[in-house]
């Protein structure tokens, strides 16, 4: 028979010793953890071995298989499932972060880091070579798109497509099947052309300011195109495009808000354009109302703007819309092609070419983007195609 071990409880003196030891560890460890969590570090590198305060960055990446660099040093602790990185122990000051990947355009940002705070940013990386799918008028019986000329003679020579094509040696179409998607896309562009003509007509209208009786100073703004999505409004004013926050003040995205101590420091941290926007939007509003600025008007010691102007690269804006499923990115059809522009204007706004071309037309249909280029309808993808 196996003997049953007889386990006796610890003597009272031992239990008292364990309790006191655990209590001491708790009393010592909790302040140390709190001290670490709020951004203090003990500097062992310096001769003085002093305590320093640090901040951090949280960078998210929209594209797969990208690498994040901070001050040209690779970030090792990437969060694979979230495609993001949290960089700790950054000293207060300006730091450069860039996100890059093979066959992708590089996203670069210079952002300030403050002690005890985490600076956020979201990167995006469009393909270097346009990724497209041809929507042809005809298909074979097995559904393969039919081309009546070599692919190298079409816009496909400047793009990448994983499609298989059937190159017809004759222009006869009786042996092929009509593609209903081509008819649908053609209808989209026909409707878009009507809207563009109306937009141009509205843009050329010169109206007198609308005034109420007795009011000689009021003016009106004619927005030629306006889109609303997820508590934001994308609109055009005086040839420029703006993104406006229309939701609750406490829920405003982080990049609308910046630290403002003096004009020079704000310009140095975020750029002169941001400093001018803060002065024009925030402080001028208080000056007009003769109100006093209080600490309750700030968010974490930052001033929040209500709108941000989108960089149009000094070109004419032919068309614009929200990037699919995003209020942080804007699609802009400019004179030399279709671009993706980020709303976050801290330091600058990253702009990346999605599809080049001076005589193209663009249509967005739900989550899909179509381009009409030299007689061909193409669906343009925002990610690399396998």
Domain boundaries, the chain: 51-123, 131-178
200 Cβ partners below 8 Å, 6+ apart?
A: none
Q: Say yes or no to pLDDT of 205 above 70.
A: no
Q: What whole-number distance in Å separates Cα of residue 356 and Cα of residue 100?
A: 21
**More confidently predicted of 79 and 121:** 121
pLDDT in tens, 304-348: 889 999 999 999 999 999 999 999 999 999 999 999 999 999 999
CB atoms closer than 10 angstroms to residue 350? 22
Q: Assess contact for 60 and 83: CB atoms under 8 A.
A: yes
Residues 34-45, mean pLDDT to the nearest whole number:
53
Query: For position 6, what pLDDT does the model report?
Result: 66
Residue 342: exposure state from Cβ atoms within 10 A (0-12, 13-18, ≥19): buried
Query: For position 58, what pLDDT does the model report?
Result: 94
**More confidently predicted of 3 and 279:** 279
Q: Assess contact for 148 and 169: CB atoms under 8 A.
A: no
CB atoms closer than 10 angstroms to residue 360? 19
- Measured distance between the N- and C-terminal CA atoms of the chain, rounded to whole angstroms: 68
Q: What whole-number distance in Å separates Cα of residue 137 and Cα of residue 4?
A: 85
Query: For position 217, what pLDDT does the model report?
Result: 36
Q: Say yes or no to pLDDT of 17 above 90.
A: no
Q: Say yes or no to pLDDT of 198 above 50.
A: yes
Report strand pairing: 78-79 vs 257-259: unpaired
Q: What is the DSSP letter of 6?
A: -
Q: Assess contact for 158 and 131: CB atoms under 8 A.
A: no
Q: What whole-number distance in Å separates Cα of residue 161 and Cα of residue 129?
A: 10
315 Cβ partners below 8 Å, 6+ apart?
A: 334, 335, 336
Residues 347-364, mean pLDDT to the nearest whole number:
96
Query: For position 295, what pLDDT does the model report?
Result: 43
Q: Say yes or no to pLDDT of 133 above 90.
A: yes
pLDDT in tens, 41-95: 555 555 555 655 678 999 999 998 899 999 999 998 766 556 889 998 899 999 9
Taking alpha carbons only, the member of 247, 240, 250 closest to residue 308 is 240
Q: What percent of the chain has pLDDT over 70?
A: 76
DSSP E strands in 62-192: the ranges are: 67-70, 73-74, 78-79, 84-90, 93-100, 107-113, 118-123, 131-135, 138-139, 146-147, 166-167, 177-178
Q: Assess contact for 92 and 41: CB atoms under 8 A.
A: no
Report strand pairing: 177-178 vs 138-139: antiparallel
180 Cβ partners below 8 Å, 6+ apart?
A: none
Q: Say yes or no to pLDDT of 289 above 70.
A: no
Q: What whole-number distance in Å separates Cα of residue 201 and Cα of residue 207?
A: 12
Residues 160-166, mean pLDDT to the nearest whole number:
86
- State which fold the 51-123 domain adopts: Immunoglobulin-like (2.60.40)
Total-model pTM: 0.80
Q: What whole-number distance in Å separates Cα of residue 23 and Cα of residue 16?
A: 11
Report strand pairing: 257-259 vs 73-74: unpaired
Mean pLDDT of the chain: 82
Q: pLDDT-derived band of residue 273, with 50, 70 and 90 as boundaries?
A: very high
Q: What whole-number distance in Å separates Cα of residue 157 and Cα of residue 374?
A: 12
- The sheet carrying 93-100 orders its strands as 73-74, 67-70, 93-100, 107-113
| Tokens of residue 37, six digits | 């969590």
Q: 246: number of CA atoms within 13 Å, CB side?
A: 13
Task: Average the pLDDT over each of 100-114, 117-131, 271-285, 356-370 and give the range with the smallest value.
Answer: 271-285
Residues 32-44, mean pLDDT to the nearest whole number:
53
Task: Average the pLDDT over each of 128-137, 194-203, 330-339 and give the range with the smallest value.
Answer: 194-203
Q: Assess contact for 205 and 220: CB atoms under 8 A.
A: no
Which range scores top for mean pLDDT: 140-149, 291-300, 316-325?
Answer: 316-325
Q: pLDDT-derived band of residue 125, with 50, 70 and 90 as boundaries?
A: very high
Q: What whole-number distance in Å separates Cα of residue 44 and Cα of residue 51?
A: 9
Q: What percent of the chain has pLDDT over 90?
A: 51
Query: For position 81, what pLDDT does the model report?
Result: 56
CB atoms closer than 10 angstroms to residue 334? 20
Q: What whole-number distance in Å separates Cα of residue 162 and Cα of residue 145?
A: 12
């Amino acid at each position: 028979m196996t003997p049953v071990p007889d386990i006796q409880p610890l003597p009272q003196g031992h239990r008292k010793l364990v309790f006191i030891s655990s209590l001491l560890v708790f009393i010592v460890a909790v302040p140390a953890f709190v001290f670490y969590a709020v951004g203090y570090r003990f500097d062992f590198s310096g001769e003085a071995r002093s305590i320093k305060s640090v901040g951090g960055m949280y960078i998210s990446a929209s594209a797969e298989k990208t690498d994040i660099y901070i001050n040209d040093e690779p970030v090792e602790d990437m969060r694979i499932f979230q495609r993001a990185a949290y960089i700790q122990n950054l000293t207060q000051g300006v730091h450069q972060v860039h996100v890059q990947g093979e066959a992708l355009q590089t996203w670069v940002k210079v952002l300030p880091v403050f002690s005890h705070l985490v600076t956020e940013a979201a990167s995006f990386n469009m393909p270097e070579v346009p990724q497209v799918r041809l929507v042809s008028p005809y298909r074979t019986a097995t559904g393969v798109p039919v081309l009546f000329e070599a692919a190298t003679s079409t816009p496909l020579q400047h793009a990448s497509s994983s499609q298989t094509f059937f190159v017809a040696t004759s222009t006869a179409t009786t042996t092929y099947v009509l593609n209903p998607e081509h008819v649908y896309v053609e209808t989209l562009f026909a409707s878009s052309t009507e809207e563009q003509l109306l937009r141009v007509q509205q843009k050329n209208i010169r109206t007198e300011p609308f005034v109420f009786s007795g009011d000689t100073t009021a003016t009106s703004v004619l927005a030629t195109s306006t889109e609303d999505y997820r508590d934001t409004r994308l609109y055009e004013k005086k040839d420029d495009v703006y993104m406006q926050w229309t939701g609750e003040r406490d829920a405003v995205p982080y990049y609308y808000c910046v630290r403002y101590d003096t004009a020079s420091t704000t310009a140095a941290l975020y750029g002169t354009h941001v400093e001018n926007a803060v002065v024009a939007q925030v402080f001028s509003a208080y000056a007009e109302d003769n109100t006093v600025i209080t600490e309750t008007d700030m968010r974490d010691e930052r001033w929040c703007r209500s709108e941000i102007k989108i960089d149009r690269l000094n070109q004419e804006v032919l068309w614009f819309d929200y990037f699919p499923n995003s209020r942080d990115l804007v699609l802009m059809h400019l004179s030399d092609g279709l671009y993706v522009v980020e709303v976050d204007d801290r330091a600058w706004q990253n702009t990346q070419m999605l599809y080049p071309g001076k005589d193209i037309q663009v249509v967005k249909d739900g989550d899909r983007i179509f381009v009409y280029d030299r007689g061909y309808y193409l669906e343009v993808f925002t990610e690399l195609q396998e």
